[in-house]
Amino acid sequence: MTQILNHENLVELNLKLEKSQLNDQDLIYLTKSLKKCKCIAFLQLNLGYNQLYDDSVSNLGEAIGQFQNLLQLNLNLKHNKIADIGLKKLINGLSNSKKIKELILNLENNFFNSKGVSDTAIYFDRFKNLSIFTLNIGFNQINQEGIQNLSFSIGQHLEIKTLTLYLYELQIGDKGAAFLGDNLSQTKNLKSLTLDLSYNIIGNEGILGIAQALAQSQNLKFLELYLWYLEIQINVNY
């Protein structure tokens, strides 16, 4: 594998290492080889279901941030051991790659919480050219404060046209849902929104708040909402 990564002229790389029992040392070794691929424009790394902690993930983020030709990044780190500091350093590192237009991050089921998300939110402001953004942070210990800070940062990206957020199985209530809707409605060029809020503690008030806020998004053409197992009551008047 390292011989392949020594190919400095690689423009596109798709590396699938899910469920490979990788540990920190494995990823650090892989990252060292990956740094040599300076021409990468399209990068897909599937590192889900391994034993990766903060140090190696931080190192990976720093390395990817050096790819100044990178346009599209799909990074799957679900079901690892990433905590607050690892999340912060990962996003900080990635944000140094200034040309990214499409970013897909799967961070489902790790060990970061609301503080980590809040501390990290500021770094999303650095992705100035981002037009397509997919983020999965489901199954983490994140409450409405973390979602408020994250969505505020995303809402400042006026250039985002397609946004997908997987926020299932968190600790979002009605207030957090209302903040989420208000902040996302600030993304004036947003045309497509997919939002998964399943398995939260959101009721009618929260859903109404989201609906009213998103109604202000004049350019929104496509909306997909996943609202499974919420606390919604539907009253039908005959």
Instruction: Give CA–CA dist 130/162, Å, rounded.
Output: 10
pLDDT at 142 > cutoff 90 = yes
In this predicted structure, what is the pLDDT of residue 238?
A: 40
In this predicted structure, what is the pLDDT of residue 233?
A: 79
pTM of the model: 0.95
Instruction: Give CA–CA dist 42/225, Å, rounded.
Output: 29
Domain 9-226: homologous superfamily in CATH: Ribonuclease Inhibitor (3.80.10.10)
Band of pLDDT at residue 3, cut at 50, 70 and 90: low
Any residues with CB less than 8 A from the CB of 7 and at least 6 apart, and which?
A: 37
pLDDT digits (tens, 9 = 90+) for 58-115: 999 999 999 999 999 999 999 999 999 999 999 999 999 999 999 999 999 999 999 9
- Tally: H helices and E strands in the chain: 8, 8
In this predicted structure, what is the pLDDT of residue 136?
A: 98
In this predicted structure, what is the pLDDT of residue 4?
A: 57
In this predicted structure, what is the pLDDT of residue 118?
A: 96
pLDDT at 237 > cutoff 60 = no
- What percent of the chain shows pLDDT beyond 90? 89
pLDDT digits (tens, 9 = 90+) for 24-67: 999 999 999 999 898 999 999 999 999 999 999 999 999 999 99
Of 146, 81, 155, the closest CA to residue 120 belongs to 146
Place of tokens 């210990």: 141
- What percent of the chain shows pLDDT beyond 70? 95
pLDDT at 5 > cutoff 90 = no
Alpha carbon 153 to chain centroid, angstroms: 12
Domain ranges of the chain: 9-226
